[in-house]
Structure 1
């Protein structure tokens, strides 16, 4: 496994715990982003359906408004000059609100009327009914245009948000999570290898201790046969006179074993046997 396929980290129990927590966090984040993407997609489809319906209705309304304008001009004559002269400020205005969908802010436009109707008396002489119909049709057209602008703006915003969310989901699912899993597998493999090495090391130490014990017993038997060592008076004396083997582990691969025997009746007061063993780890 190359270093590019996993996170560079020293294998340890703490690193294993950290990687498990990161893996759980990545999986939770992926699930949350998937739910967010599903919610955005659902709203996206609803808005798309409304856009199609509004555009179809918009065609009919604009066609009706165009016919109304032709009828008004035919009945009341050219009233464009009167309209231009009476304009001082807009009567139909737009205000924007915000809607939150799964953390994505969508703009919503609403139209409202401000002030009085400046063209209320227009068409009193003739064509008043056609002018009133014309105003109603174009007011409805303006309302649909504002609604369509709001829907299309939300459509574009949601489309971009869905793309970003899906990219994040794919990155977490196909890059981040596999990388963490490979790192976790590497840490577990290294820790298992260390445990096997430690078990082998302890096993070799036990074997060395067993060999030293057997060798010491053989030498003790030889000395007893030669008459250099007398039997102890009781087991307690034997236990006090013969001490255990002391195993000292030094730095590196060298182990020093010291056997200390001081038996009653020995010709020398202290016999020290020193063995130096090299154990491969």
Structure 2
């Protein structure tokens, strides 16, 4: 399918310039997409490692709480948990991945050991410490998931633009340029033929 064009020399050079820009843009977008995919795979690797840590630690943490409940009364457990409440501070920063802004979460947890260690089982102490260490990993999972979603969205968007240039615009421009070149060549041959005929007529007249 050709773009609606006028078969003129000016249009020919105009389309050649557009083609050059489209080819350059296609390369830049393709390079960008390859870079995004590389960064995405790096995030996936980091996500798998952190997620594995979360999947391993969460059951252990829950197991410790269950053991604590078995070893002590529900009331003493509830009181200890209430008294051991700490502070969670979450700071959000931004970083650029190939001009894509993604969030970076920085979390810090401070615990309060104001509950009586005598009245509570050691499993509860271990569970609370484990939970404090576990929270940053959980936040990291959320950070990486969000970053992967944003990069995946940008990769898909860039891929569509690359395909639109590669399979639609660039072939259309090439076809239109070829069409104009053919027409211009036909016009040039026609002009040459007409000039030759005029020359022949002039030569014939000069001889008669």
TM-score where L is the length of structure 2: 0.88
Q: Distance in 2 between matches of 1:189 and 1:9?
A: 13
In terms of Rg, which structure is larger? 1
8 Å contact kept, 2:19–2:170: yes
Deviation at 1:59, TM superposition (A): 2.0
8 Å contact kept, 1:98–1:106: yes
8 Å contact kept, 1:75–1:126: no
SS at match of 1:99: strand
Deviation at 1:130, TM superposition (A): 4.1
8 Å contact kept, 2:2–2:173: yes
- Please list the CA deviations of residues 177-211 of structure 1 after superposition, one character each: whole Å capped at 9, or x if unmatched: 00000111111111111111111111111112122
Report whether the alignment pairs 1:20 with 2:13: no
8 Å contact kept, 2:44–2:148: yes
Q: Distance in 1 between matches of 2:116 and 2:132?
A: 18
What is the match of residue 178 of structure 2?
185
SS at match of 2:103: strand
What is the match of residue 2 of structure 2?
6
Report whether the alignment pairs 1:92 with 2:85: no
Report whether the alignment pairs 1:213 with 2:181: no
What is the match of residue 80 of structure 1?
78
What pairs with 1:160-239 in structure 2 (closer than 5 Å)?
160-215=153-208
Q: Distance in 2 between matches of 1:86 and 1:146?
A: 21
Match of 1:40 among 17, 21, 36: 36
Match of 2:53 among 53, 57, 68: 57
Deviation at 1:21, TM superposition (A): 1.2
Match of 2:103 among 95, 107, 110: 107
SS at match of 1:79: helix
Structure with higher helix content: 2
What is the match of residue 125 of structure 1?
118
Compute the RMSD of aligned alpha carbons.
2.2
8 Å contact kept, 1:33–1:165: yes
TM-score where L is the length of structure 1: 0.66
8 Å contact kept, 1:99–1:108: yes
- Please list the CA deviations of residues 223-275 of structure 1 after superposition, one character each: whole Å capped at 9, or x if unmatched: xxxxxxxxxxxxxxxxxxxxxxxxxxxxxxxxxxxxxxxxxxxxxxxxxxxxx
Note the residue ranges of structure 1 that are not aligned, 5 or more in a row: 216-281
Note the residue ranges of structure 2 that are not aligned, 5 or more in a row: none
